[in-house]
Structure 1
Amino acid sequence: MRNLQRVDPDFWEGKKVFITGHTGFKGSWLSFWLQSMGAEVTGYALRPPTNPNLYDLMRMGDLVTSHIGDIRDSASLSMAYRKAAPDIVFHLAAQPLVRDSYDNPAQTYEINAMGTVHLLETVRQAALGGIPPKAVVVVTTDKCYENQEWSRGYRETDRLGGTDPYSSSKACAELIAACYEKAFFGPHSPKLLQIPVASVRAGNAIGGGDWAKDRLIPDSIRQLSRGESIKIRYPQAIRPWQHVLEPLYGYLLVAQRLVEDGFSYAQAWNFGPDLGQTATVEQLVGKLCNLWGNPSAYTVEQTQQHVESRYLQLDSSKAMQLLGWKPRWELDKALAETVHWYQSLQLQKDVRELCRHQIHHYMEGE
Structure 2
Amino acid sequence: MKTAFITGITGQDGSYLAELLLAKGYEVHGLVRRSSSFSTGRLDHLYVDPHTEGVRLFLHYGDLTDSSRLVTLLSRIRPDEVYHLGAQSHVRVSFDEPEFTGDTTGLGTIRLLEAIRMIGLDTRYYQASSSEMFGATPPPQSEATPFHPRSPYGAAKVYGYWAARNYREAYGMYAVNGILFNHESPRRGETFVTRKIARAAARIALGLESELFLGNLDAVRDWGFAPEYVEGMWRMLQADTADDYVLATGTAYTVGDFVRLSFDHAGLDWRRHVRFDERYLRPSEVDALIGDASKARDVLGWTPRTFTPELARVMVDAELTALEGPTATVTPLPVLGFDRPVLAS
Normalised-by-shorter TM-score class: 0.7 to 0.9
Residue 223 of structure 1: aligned partner: 200
Residue 240 of structure 1: aligned partner: 222
Residue 311 of structure 1: aligned partner: 288
What does the per-residue CA deviation read over 1:259-281, in whole Å, with 9 as the maximum and x for residues that have no partner?
xx1x3xx12110011x3x32111
Q: How many residues are matched?
A: 315
Residue 89 of structure 1: aligned partner: 82
> What is the CA distance between 1:335 and its match in structure 2?
2.1
- Is the alpha carbon distance of 1:87 and 1:349 closer, same or farther for their aligned partners in structure 2, counting shifts above 3 Å? farther
Residue 32 of structure 2: aligned partner: 45
AA paired with 2:188? D
Residue 143 of structure 1: aligned partner: 132
> What is the CA distance between 1:340 and its match in structure 2?
2.9
AA paired with 2:292? D
- Is the alpha carbon distance of 1:162 and 1:78 closer, same or farther for their aligned partners in structure 2, counting shifts above 3 Å? same
> How far apart, CA to CA, are the structure 2 residues paired with 1:50 and 1:243?
28
Matches within 5 A, 1:71-86: 71-86=64-79
Structure 2 residue matching 1:58: 3-state secondary structure: helix
> How far apart, CA to CA, are the structure 2 residues paired with 1:158 and 1:349?
47
> How far apart, CA to CA, are the structure 2 residues paired with 1:22 and 1:322?
27
Q: 1:33 aligns with which of 2, 20, 23?
A: 20
How does the TM-score come out when normalised to structure 1?
0.79
> How far apart, CA to CA, are the structure 1 residues paired with 2:197 and 2:303?
28
Does the 8 Å CA contact 1:24/1:49 hold for their aligned counterparts? no
AA paired with 1:272? A
Residue 65 of structure 1: aligned partner: 58
What does the per-residue CA deviation read over 1:231-271, in whole Å, with 9 as the maximum and x for residues that have no partner?
221111101111112321211111111xxx1x3xx121100
Unpaired stretches in structure 1, ≥5 consecutive residues: 1-13, 187-194, 352-366
Q: Does residue 210 of the first structure (1) align with residue 188 of the second (2)?
A: yes
- Is the alpha carbon distance of 1:338 and 1:146 closer, same or farther for their aligned partners in structure 2, counting shifts above 3 Å? closer
What does the per-residue CA deviation read over 1:118-141, in whole Å, with 9 as the maximum and x for residues that have no partner?
1111111222xxx421x1111111
Q: 1:291 aligns with which of 259, 265, 286?
A: 265
> How far apart, CA to CA, are the structure 2 residues paired with 1:52 and 1:141?
23
> What is the CA distance between 1:210 and its match in structure 2?
1.9
Percent of aligned pairs sharing the same letter: 24
- Is the alpha carbon distance of 1:86 and 1:350 closer, same or farther for their aligned partners in structure 2, counting shifts above 3 Å? farther
How does the TM-score come out when normalised to structure 2?
0.84
Residue 115 of structure 1: aligned partner: 108
Matches within 5 A, 1:244-259: 244-257=226-239
Structure 1 residue matching 2:82: 3-state secondary structure: strand
> How far apart, CA to CA, are the structure 2 residues paired with 1:61 and 1:208?
23
AA paired with 1:78? V
> How far apart, CA to CA, are the structure 1 residues paired with 2:73 and 2:238?
23
Structure 1 residue matching 2:292: 3-state secondary structure: coil
> How far apart, CA to CA, are the structure 2 residues paired with 1:336 and 1:294?
13
> How far apart, CA to CA, are the structure 2 residues paired with 1:43 and 1:156?
29
AA paired with 1:319? A
Q: 1:344 aligns with which of 321, 324, 330?
A: 321
Structure 1 residue matching 2:213: 3-state secondary structure: strand
> How far apart, CA to CA, are the structure 2 residues paired with 1:56 and 1:329?
23
Q: Does residue 330 of the first structure (1) align with residue 318 of the second (2)?
A: no
Does the 8 Å CA contact 2:150/2:286 hold for their aligned counterparts? no
Unpaired stretches in structure 2, ≥5 consecutive residues: 50-55, 330-345
> How far apart, CA to CA, are the structure 1 residues paired with 2:161 and 2:16?
23
AA paired with 1:271? L
AA paired with 1:312? L
Q: 2:177 aligns with which of 196, 199, 203?
A: 199
Does the 8 Å CA contact 2:235/2:300 hold for their aligned counterparts? yes
AA paired with 1:309? V
Residue 269 of structure 1: aligned partner: 245
